[in-house]
Amino acid sequence: MASLTPIFHQRSYLYEAQSVTRQSQFSSSFLPRNLPSWSGFGGISRMPLRMEVAAGGGVPVVEATTAEKQKKRYPGEAKGFVEEMRFVAMRLHTREQAKEGEKEVKSPEEKSVMKWEPTVEGYLRFLVDSKLVYDTLERIVDNAAFPFYAEFRNTGLERSEKLAKDLEWFKEQGYAIPEPSSPGVDYAQYLVELSEKDPPAFICHFYNVYFAHSAGGRMIGRKVAKQILNNKDLEFYKWDGDLSQLLQNVRDKLNQVAEGWTREEKDHCLEETEKSFKCSGEILRLILS
């Protein structure tokens, strides 16, 4: 397991924009503000603040009240940070996409998948751009500019190789594979930049891309296969192992990472959800192009 060396640090990257590109700089700039140490994975994890107070024999009654208030303030918080991310994401769906959705339908891909009229060419554009996004996410965690990214290597959720096989299959069927288009190219570039300077925001995209694909993504896969691919089961929608267990393993790791974040860093991560929907929405729209 990778570990972060605890380093005393006074500044948070959230308050001081900096463009750093080397690992040695990352490990120190990612430490939450005003904390004596944080070791992340593989070391002694920082305890949640309310536990520290209780364990330190301070004033647990008052602190428990504060903790209770916090639970009410952040929906899902009691279950862990992933539940907070999920809560924000579900609200950004339209009612036509998911039961918990609240957003108004504004663009074609936000309508019910049942009403979609996909084309093979459009679907291929979607697969090519999706592959670029997964290639990028998987390269980012392989390179692990911030050491804790390495925890998200080989989760079993990776899609890059699966998509390569699918594109090969389309080629064998006589289809020309297009070059990636701007939705994928721009998103990939954005992910690289974010991963280097803003880990909580990057983690928001990481979560949304992989978890969206395991939920709505599979619905889309079934619908498109039925309508235009003669029910061909693409590799993109197959996982080696039990998908719900793979997802749970990643949820656990994400929760563990976020335990070391300040409330500001968590909020910053949640605020990035809208951008994540925008970028993925543009790629989804390619299916209907």
Interacting residues toward ligand HEM by CB under 6 A: 86, 89, 93, 97-98, 109, 113, 208, 211-212, 214-216, 219-220, 247, 276-277, 280-281, 284
Q: Minimal distance in Å, beta carbon 113 to ligand HEM? A: 5
Burial 92-106 (b: 16+ CB within 10 A, else e): bbbeebbeebebeee
Instruction: Output 22 or 99, the one with its CB closest to ligand HEM.
Output: 99
87 or 175: CB nearest ligand HEM: 87
For residue 224, the surrounding DSSP H or E stretch is helix 216-228
Q: In the complex with ligand HEM, which residue's Cβ is closer, 75 or 281? A: 281
Min. distance of Cβ 40 from ligand HEM in angstroms? 23
How far is Cα 41 from Cα 32, in angstroms, rounded to an integer? 15
Residue 147 backbone phi and psi in degrees, to 5:
-55, -30
For ligand HEM, which is the closer residue by CB, 55 or 78? 78
**CB nearer ligand HEM, residue 88 or residue 145:** 88
- Identity of the residue, 217 or 260, whose beta carbon is nearer to ligand HEM in the bound complex: 217
Please calculate the CA angle 84-45-158 and round it to the nearest 5 degrees: 55
Cα within 13 Å of Cα(51), Cβ side:
5
Minimal CB distance residue for ligand HEM: 216
Instruction: Report the alpha-carbon distance of residue 204 to residue 131 in Å, rounded.
Output: 19
- Report in angstroms how near the CB of residue 265 gets to ligand HEM at its nearest: 19
Q: Which residues of 118-139 are buried (b: 16+ CB within 10 A; e: fewer)?
A: beeebbbbbbbbbbbbbbbbbe
Nearest to 168, CA basis, from 127, 218, 121 = 127
Residues 30 and 180: their CA atoms lie apart, in Å, by 32
Least Cβ distance, residue 191 to ligand HEM (angstroms) = 12
> Which of residues 5 and 112 has its CB atom nearest to ligand HEM in the complex?
112
Q: Minimum distance between the CB of residue 229 and ligand HEM, rounded to whole angstroms?
A: 17
d(CA 118, CA 105): 18
Angle between helices 273-285 and 199-214 (to 10 degrees): 50
Q: How far is the CB of 287 from ligand HEM (least distance, A)?
A: 9
Cβ of residue 129: shortest distance to ligand HEM, in angstroms? Answer: 13
Only one residue has tokens 């709505």, namely: 216
Q: Select 37 or 160, whichever has its Cβ closest to ligand HEM.
A: 160
Please, are residues 82 and 255 in contact by the beta-carbon 8 Å criterion?
Answer: yes
Nearest approach, Cβ of residue 83 and ligand HEM (Å) = 9
